[in-house]
């Protein structure tokens, strides 16, 4: 029994010594791991800091470039404006020399706005007769009119410039919202009971003196040219005429029910003549109102 106890004590003592020898190694390994983690963390912090500094420098450089470009643009604009003013003053200082201006361009204080409305559109084709579709003719004439009016220095607003459907209320809203000097709606006529009837007609709201004035001016211009047959100016209760708060006319450019006039209306050349005559009438009306 004594031998057994002595052997057990020696065994326990040996285990304690082995445990004490291992403990410092474990702690050393833990310390090295912590140091590695700290080193990695430091490297990440340094990397992110460097990236942040680089990004900030780039942002400052970009901002300086933008500011420089804006300064240069403003400088040249100012220089160009000053040069133009100097040139104008030189022209005014030379006696006997008058500045040439287009006869048809309105003075700066007399800018006009005309709203052009191509009738129908989209699923609403208007009158369709053989190869003639009213919505297409209306839009073609309106686009030609816009170009001619803009060449005269007049601001033009369209209710539609492509084949889309627009409610009558929206067309009226555009005219009233723009506070237009004139609203012109373009359509084609049709009379199934008598295909011999033809000619351009112009409508205005009953009791609207401004509308009547423009309708008569347009027809007078067309009659003077002699190239397009016109009928007369008539009062009407069309929705767009009754609900616009600006001078408004509705032009029926011709009868699709008449064979000859239908063929004219689908012709691009004739559409150009129509646009020209209508624009001349509109311009004369605007100039007449201006006094």
Q: What pLDDT, in 10s, does the model give residues 117-133?
A: 999 999 999 999 988 99
Q: Is residue 37 part of a domain?
A: yes
158-162: average pLDDT: 98
My answer on whether 161 and 215 are in the same domain is yes
Q: What is the per-residue pLDDT across 12-43, written as a single tens digit (0 to 9) for each?
A: 555 555 555 555 555 566 777 777 778 777 87
Residue 146 domain-assigned (yes or no): yes
Average of pLDDT values for 103-118?
Answer: 72
> Is residue 84 a part of any domain in this protein?
yes
Domain boundary among 77, 100, 123: 100
Of 145, 148, 158, the C-alpha closest to 271 is 145
Looking at the structure, tell me whether residues 134 and 94 fall in a common domain.
Answer: no
* Residues 143 and 51 both lie in one domain: no
Give the integer Cα–Cα distance in Å for 248 and 175: 9
* In a shared domain, residues 88 and 121: no
Distance of CA 175 to the CA centre of its chain: 17
Is 96 found in the same domain as 46?
yes
Give the range of the structural domain holding residue 191, as residue numbers without chain letter.
111-290
Distances (CA, A) of 105 to 112, 174, 272: 11, 25, 21
**Are 36 and 58 found together in one domain?**
yes
Predicted confidence at residue 50, as pLDDT, reads 81
Mark whether 53 and 179 lie in a shared domain. no
Residues 45 and 149 in one domain: no
Query: Does some domain include residue 215?
Result: yes
As to burial, measured by CB atoms within 10 angstroms (0-12 exposed, 13-18 middle, 19+ buried), residue 187 is buried
**How wide is the angle at C-alpha 258 spanned by C-alphas 255 and 262, nearest 5°?**
70
Above 90 in pLDDT, residue 113? yes
Residues 158 and 46 both lie in one domain: no
pLDDT at 64: 79
Q: How many domains does the chain have?
A: 2
Whether residues 225 and 130 fall in one domain: yes
pTM, full prediction: 0.64
Over residues 32-72, the pLDDT tens digits come to: 777 777 877 787 788 778 888 888 888 888 777 777 666 66
Q: Is residue 89 part of a domain?
A: yes
CATH number at residue 232: 3.40.630.40
Question: Is there a domain that residue 76 lies in?
Answer: yes
Per the rule left: phi > 0, alpha: psi between -120 and 50, beta: everything else, 102 is beta
Do 125 and 64 lie in one domain? The reply is no
240 and 172 Cβ atoms separated by less than 8 Å: yes
Are 179 and 111 in contact by the 8 Å Cβ rule? The answer is no
Among 59, 75, 100, where does a domain finish? 100
- Domain assignment of residue 105, yes or no: no
Q: Where among 52, 73, 100 does a domain terminate?
A: 100
Q: Is residue 106 part of a domain?
A: no
Distance from the Cα of residue 248 to its chain's centroid: 24
Q: In this predicted model, which residue has the larger pLDDT, 290 or 117?
A: 117
Residues β-bridged to residue 156:
114
Task: Output the average pLDDT for the chain.
Answer: 82
Quick one: 185 and 238 in the same domain? Answer: yes
pLDDT for the residue numbered 97: 36
């Amino acid at each position: 029994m004594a031998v057994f106890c002595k052997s057990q004590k020696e065994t326990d003592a040996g285990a304690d010594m082995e445990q004490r020898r291992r403990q410092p190694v474990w702690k050393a390994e833990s310390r090295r791991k912590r140091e590695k983690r700290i080193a990695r963390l430091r490297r990440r912090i340094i990397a992110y800091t460097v990236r942040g500094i680089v990004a900030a420098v780039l942002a400052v450089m970009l901002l300086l470039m933008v500011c420089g470009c804006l300064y240069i643009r403003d400088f040249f604009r100012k220089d160009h404006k000053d040069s133009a003013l100097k040139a104008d003053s030189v022209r005014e200082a030379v006696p006997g020399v008058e500045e040439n201006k287009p006869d048809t361009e309105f003075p700066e204080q007399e800018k006009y706005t005309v709203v052009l409305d191509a009738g129908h559109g989209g699923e609403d084709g208007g009158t369709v007769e053989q190869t003639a579709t009213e919505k297409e003719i209306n839009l073609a004439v309106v686009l030609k009119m816009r170009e001619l009016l803009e060449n005269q220095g007049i601001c033009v607003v369209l209710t539609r410039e492509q084949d889309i459907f627009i409610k009558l209320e929206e067309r009226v809203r555009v005219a009233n919202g723009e506070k237009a000097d004139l609203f012109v709606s373009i359509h084609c006529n049709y009379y199934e009971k008598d295909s011999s009837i033809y000619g351009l007609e112009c409508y205005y709201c009953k009791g609207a003196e401004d509308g009547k004035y423009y309708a008569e001016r347009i027809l007078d211009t067309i009659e003077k040219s002699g190239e397009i047959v016109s009928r007369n100016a008539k009062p009407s209760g069309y929705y767009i005429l009754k609900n616009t708060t600006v001078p408004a006319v509705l032009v029926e450019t011709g009868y699709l029910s008449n064979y000859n006039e239908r063929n004219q209306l689908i012709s691009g050349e004739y559409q150009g003549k129509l646009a020209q005559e209508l624009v001349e009438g509109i311009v004369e009306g605007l100039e007449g109102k201006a006094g």
